[in-house]
Amino acid sequence: MSLKIRLARGGAKKRPFYSIVVSDSRSPRDGNFIEKIGTYNPMLPREHAERITLKEDRARHWLSVGAQPTDRVALFLGRANIIDLPKVVESPKKSAPKAKAQERAKLAAAAAASAEG
């Protein structure tokens, strides 16, 4: 049985509230879970103390027995110094400016440099 530490959505329409749960990876997102180890309220400001609550000892226990956190939960655990912060994934090359836009940016930068000096 592979375990996941993930978010289970609750709350009303357009008012999300998430529970941080340990569950079997085959169970549905909002379905059966083994243990609730915290909460996440994205409606609160980022610096608010109750935006993310975690039972650190239980999170460490589940990580020690092989539970794998999802990307978002890994970020929460990293900020709480329970695990190492995950690397930030770079944006895909597909969203980068195309060749003509890059050429225009180079010409604008060269014009700005020649105007200054």
Residue 54: pLDDT over 90 = yes
Q: What's the mean pLDDT in 86-103?
A: 85
- CB proximity list for 51: less than 8 A, separation 6 or greater: 40, 41, 42, 44, 45
Whether 34 has a pLDDT exceeding 90, the answer reads yes
What is the rounded average pLDDT of the residues 81-93?
85
**Residue whose pair of structure tokens reads 């243990």 in the numeric block:** 35
- Residue 31's pLDDT band, with cuts at 50, 70 and 90, is confident
Per residue in 99-111, pLDDT (tens digit) is 999 999 999 999 9
105: domain CATH number is 3.30.1320.10
pTM of the model: 0.74
Indicate the residue type of 53.
T
Domain residue limits at 50: 1-116
- Domains in the chain: how many in total? 1
